[in-house]
Structure 1
Amino acid sequence: MKQNNLTIAHKSDGHVEDSQSEQPLYEILKGLPKPEARFKLNAAQKKWWYWFGYEFIKTKQISELDLIHLQKASFWMDARCQAMFQIHKEGYDGLVQTFKSGATNVTGHVSIIEKADKHLDEVSAHFGLSIKDRMKIKTDVQPDNQLSLFDKVVQKLTAAQ
């Protein structure tokens, strides 16, 4: 397949190689851009933008399309911090609501933290930021001349026939 005068080779394992360079097929961000005004981030969220952004840049796999994930991480980390602040301010009462009937429920602040944690885990998985996420992304690389265990068994079976 030809694309922008580059020959692209598709391997059976889904790996895509560029025959003329080792650059990925998309332009990675070399530096972190300022958050765009259309993201409508407040000052605290901008702080998280830069904090997460520099970590994302270290992965060397972030493109401009990934900035929406950076916005998501900034928003939810700020929401999580605000909820934690309220819980600490109110003490134990910040964790549990007690109604006149005696029934109890977790507060909205706890629910926000749970929701933020879920969204932050998704962003982490997207970029492979945690040890667990990096292990999921990591693939075994073997030389082309090295056979897999399955290939060795097939060779022995065909040689025996």
Structure 2
Amino acid sequence: MKEQNMKVVHSNSGVDKKTELTETEKKLYEVLEELPKPETSMKLNAKQKKWWYWFGYEFVKTKQFSKLDLTHLQKAAIWMDARCLAIAEINKKGYHGGMVQTFLSGANNVSAHISILEKADKHLDEVSAHFGLSIKDRQKLKVDDTVGGQLNLFDEVLKKLHG
């Protein structure tokens, strides 16, 4: 039985079982082997398409990328382009005007370019977490690898403290 045709079912007892996927589930979770071109209905501009392919190839490498994930790819492409545009504008205008806007009254505020940069980073972090692309995200997805009968460091410390 291929690993690709299996799903893991978690029970309340903490025991995981692998079961065969139904035909509907196999279709739903069909893993893409190649990155499709962005659909015209996604309305990506040329720079966003560049990011589509840049992220897309990484997503396909996870071997868990399905057609349902294309909206996440679209999100990544749009927000990476917005991030790059904001950084270009910040660099062009410098600290005053690019990072901080100053009003006629003398009051200061974070510029719209910084706000866009922060929003883009937030959305890109969400996409990264969805696919487990960063070291931090991969650690969250990691399963406990302790060898049967081997205690982890925390258990060893507790054992020494209590007897």
Assess same fold via TM > 0.5.
Answer: yes
SS of the aligned residue for 2:113 comes to: helix
Which residue in the other structure is 1:52 paired with? 55
TM-score, normalising length from structure 1? 0.77
Count how many residue pairs are aligned between Structure 1 and Structure 2: 139
Name the CA shift for 1:8/1:103 in 2 (closer, same or farther; >3 Å). closer
Kept after mapping to 2: 8 A contact 1:49/1:71: yes
Which residue in the other structure is 1:125 paired with? 129
Name the CA shift for 1:91/1:10 in 2 (closer, same or farther; >3 Å). closer
- Determine if the alignment matches structure 1 residue 76 to structure 2 residue 79: yes
Query: 2:110, 2:20 → 1: CA distance?
Result: 57
Q: CA RMSD in A?
A: 2.5
Which residue in the other structure is 1:109 paired with? 113
Query: 1:45, 1:8 → 2: CA distance?
Result: 34
Structure 1 or 2: more helix by fraction: 2
Shift of 1:100: 1.2
Unaligned regions of 5+ residues in structure 1, if any? 1-5, 150-161
Cα displacement string for residues 63-84 of structure 1 (whole angstroms, at most 9, x for unaligned residues): 1101100000000000000111
Unaligned regions of 5+ residues in structure 2, if any? 152-163
Cα displacement string for residues 72-118 of structure 1 (whole angstroms, at most 9, x for unaligned residues): 00000000001111111111221111111110001100000000000
Larger Rg: 1
TM-score, normalising length from structure 2? 0.76
Kept after mapping to 2: 8 A contact 1:49/1:70: yes
Query: 1:102, 1:67 → 2: CA distance?
Result: 45
